[in-house]
Amino acid sequence: MNLHKLSNLVNKTGIFLAIFAIFLLTLGINTVNAASITVSPPKHEFNVDPGASISDVISITNGDAADLVLETSVADFIAEGEAGKPSFVEQEDESAFSMSAWVSFPSGLIVVPAGEKIEVPFSIAVPEDAEAGGHFGTVFFSPVTSGTGAVAVKQKVGVLLLVSVSGDVVEKGELSVFGAYGKGTEPDDVAIKNPGRIFQSFPITFATRITNTGNVHIKPVGSITIKNMFGKVLPRIGEELILNEAGAVKGSQISDTIPVNDGRGNVLPESSRVFLSSWKGYGSYVLNIDQEKVITWKGLGFGRYTAELSLAYNGTQFPAQIIHFWIIPWMIILPSLLGLVLIILLIKKMRRSSVERMKAKLREEMGQEDSWT
């Protein structure tokens, strides 16, 4: 390439980059798009009387190197699907469980300085005629920018609000499914798939499906105990979440049972939720490359196992559930059986060859004796 062509290429590249930079500026792109926002706690739960008010704060941490400007908004939410995922609805779609109109914040935008944490106060005013039971809302914090001359929302982070209004509150749950499933099972699969009875290897996924037939949210929590074919209770089979005071996950630990809903999730009224728990083998602690203690899972399952579920919500115990299943590692057993069959066949062939050689030798010796006579 000659110098003239190289010079033209450089000039064209420079013009392209300049146009691209102007295009980005026109869009108003800045560091707020990559805002690192942490809200704590991730959810608030309150018990309130009709006509009463309650106040609290939400902590917001700005992990960016620039100040953040936030606006607040509130929406109701309902449960969507069997995983209990919240689905947000607008105020015009109010239901008996709505509460977004009860929430208030200080007026104006919120400024969180770079690298700092602030506390944002809020209040919930429950109407005198509020229906007893659960009401569910979400507070959103949205970074905004005025780079284009108009405020534009770039992303949202939310905090769940669960309020139980006193009165004729009905707490009632039904346990409709407890079963063992294979790897990769999702909560929505449980309604259309039958539990398994024979598995090849770990992990084994246990599904527990709870239906809330009351008018307030419930929080079923429990554990699964595993016994082998000899009736021995197996240790080190579960991984239990460790939560801080705000309800956020700060780590995990090995448990002698498999926890069910150790994240303390709720089942909303008029909905069902599937809680998945995994048996990944037998746990032990090891140090990773950063010298941090982590859990590793090893071991081989074989034989018939019994799983017993113990589950309760707010002091109400569900009937104990017991299931049986098998782990048969075919991918290990079949090659071993084939190898054993080959060895047996080889031994038989060697014995047959040995017998034939002995017979031949015996005939040869008897022939020599006849020639002597």
Q: Is the Cβ–Cβ distance between 233 and 211 less than 8 Å?
A: no
- For residues 140 and 334, what is the distance between their CA atoms, to the nearest angstrom? 56
- 204-212 and 271-279 beta bridge pairing: antiparallel
Q: Which two tokens stand for residue 109?
A: 């935008």
Q: Which of 255, 285, 269, 291 is nearest to 217 (CA)?
A: 269
**Assigned superfamily of 35-165:** Immunoglobulins (2.60.40.10)
Angle at CA of residue 91, ends 88 and 96, nearest 5°: 85
pLDDT tens column, 330-347: 887 778 778 888 888 888
CA torsion sign, 279 to 281 to 286 to 290? negative
Beta-bridged to residue 316, according to DSSP, are: 313
pLDDT for res 1: 46
- For residues 52 and 163, what is the distance between their CA atoms, to the nearest angstrom? 12
Give the range among 27-31, 125-129, 158-162, 187-191 with minimum mean pLDDT: 27-31
State the CATH class of domain 173-328: mainly beta
Q: Is the pLDDT of residue 110 over 60?
A: yes
Say what the pTM is. 0.80
Domain boundaries, the chain: 35-165, 173-328, 332-373
Q: Is the pLDDT of residue 103 over 80?
A: yes
pLDDT for res 18: 37
Q: Give 19 or 364, the one with higher predicted confidence.
A: 364
Per CATH, 35-165 and 173-328 having the same topology is answered yes
Give the range among 1-5, 47-51, 91-95, 168-172 with minimum mean pLDDT: 1-5
Give the range among 88-102, 138-152, 222-236, 315-329 with minimum mean pLDDT: 138-152
